[in-house]
Amino acid sequence: MCWIQMITTIFLLSAMMLGGSNAQLSATFYAKTCPNVSTIVRTVLQQAQQNDIWIFPKIVRLHFHDCFVNGCDASLLLNGTNSEKTATPNLSTDGYAVVDDIKTALEKACPRVVSCADILALAAQISVSLGGGPSWKVPLGRRDSPSAHLEGIGGIPSAHDSLVNIAARFKSVGLDSTDLVALSGVHTFGRARCAAFMDRLYNFNNVSGKIDPTLNVTYAKALQQRCPKGGDVTSLIDLDEQTSLTFDNKYFLNLQNRRGLLQSDQELFSTNGAETVTIVNRFASSQKQFFDSFAKAMIKMGNISPLTGSNGQIRLDCRKIN
């Protein structure tokens, strides 16, 4: 074999190997191996919602917190001494038992086929849809991380972050300003602990007695009644005071009225000169534009550093490696 042929052969073999370990995600990934995957996930979620009316936003939050730490690889779900669950941003996450139920149902129907990472991505989409939001085709084919990434927990945006910091976090994973505003719109349903915003009510910018000036005064007083000084900081408050169980665009109307519960949300509208202000106004006036942008942003977020091909594993139990 001549040198040119040898080099060509080596190149082709290398390309094939790389293709096997970095395969692209596809909405039809399980078409032959687990054709009923979406139906199974939907059924479990609908059953879970009968026992927990807040399960849809809880599931979506798990997907968010997983993707922002080393990519969408289900590392968040792992138990253990170095579990991401034990880190401060994840102490208030919930819904793990329902993920287990989905995994159990899928293992019964399609053993050793569907990854926990794909469960999170698909369950998030179905949760949004069941909550009244948009539907989209979820690219699938992720594999599960063989370890947690506690060291990367700082990648999760904080409710106390400034717009500059949050935008930087999103940009670092390939998400732009439209993605940032659209994905923040997930706070149109769900709840947050008092601890996530009490500084806005009593100690804004570390000034004792100061209320965040971007917060509607009437709304601030109502929140002080619900989250009094010295009270239970784990008490839960609706993120959207009007339709907290429905996925709609009311969140953006709240921002326009300075009734965003979290500082990180309100800053999208109240930061002078920020390009996010125009996007908030656009989504407030058109639920369709919000839904379309949210679906696109969720697909982009779901594509953050997935393990594919021969990388990672398909966990049999989402809480532990094989």
* 160 is annotated as an active-site residue: no
Q: What DSSP state is assigned to residue 163?
A: H
240 is in an annotated binding site: yes
- Asked whether the predicted pLDDT for residue 1 surpasses 70, the reply is no
248 is in an annotated binding site: yes
Residue 12 binned pLDDT confidence (cut-offs 50, 70, 90): very low
CA 15 to chain centroid: 33
Residue 16 binned pLDDT confidence (cut-offs 50, 70, 90): very low
With tokens 């929140």, the residue in question is 223
Q: 96-109 as b/e, with b when 16 or more CB fall inside 10 Å?
A: bebbbebbebbbee
> What are the domain boundaries of the chain?
26-156, 163-298
Q: What's the rounded Cα separation, in Å, for the pair 42 and 317?
A: 19
238 is in an annotated binding site: no
What would the mean pLDDT of 296-304 be, rounded to a whole number? 98
- Asked whether the predicted pLDDT for residue 9 surpasses 50, the reply is no
Confidence at residue 23, expressed as pLDDT on a 0 to 100 scale? 57
Question: Which CATH number, 3.40.50.1220, 1.10.10.10, 1.10.520.10, 3.40.350.10, labels domain 26-156?
Answer: 1.10.520.10
- Asked whether the predicted pLDDT for residue 311 surpasses 70, the reply is yes
Domain 163-298 is classified in which CATH homologous superfamily?
Answer: Peroxidase, domain 2 (1.10.420.10)
Confidence at residue 81, expressed as pLDDT on a 0 to 100 scale? 85
Kindly name the residue from 63, 65, 149, 160 that is annotated as catalytic.
65
pLDDT digits (tens, 9 = 90+) for 37-85: 999 999 999 999 999 999 999 999 999 999 999 999 999 999 998 899 9
- Residues belonging to the chain: 322
Confidence at residue 266, expressed as pLDDT on a 0 to 100 scale? 97
187 is in an annotated binding site: yes
188 is in an annotated binding site: yes
- Say yes or no: do domains 26-156 and 163-298 share a fold: no
Those residues whose C-beta lies under 8 Å from the C-beta of residue 159, and which sit 6 or more positions away, are: 192, 196, 197, 262, 263, 264, 265
- Asked whether the predicted pLDDT for residue 21 surpasses 50, the reply is no
Q: What's the rounded Cα separation, in Å, for the pair 152 and 171?
A: 16
69 is in an annotated binding site: yes
Q: What's the rounded Cα separation, in Å, for the pair 279 and 254?
A: 14
For the CA atoms of 184, 223, 228, 183, the dihedral, rounded to the nearest 10 degrees, stands at 0
107 is in an annotated binding site: no
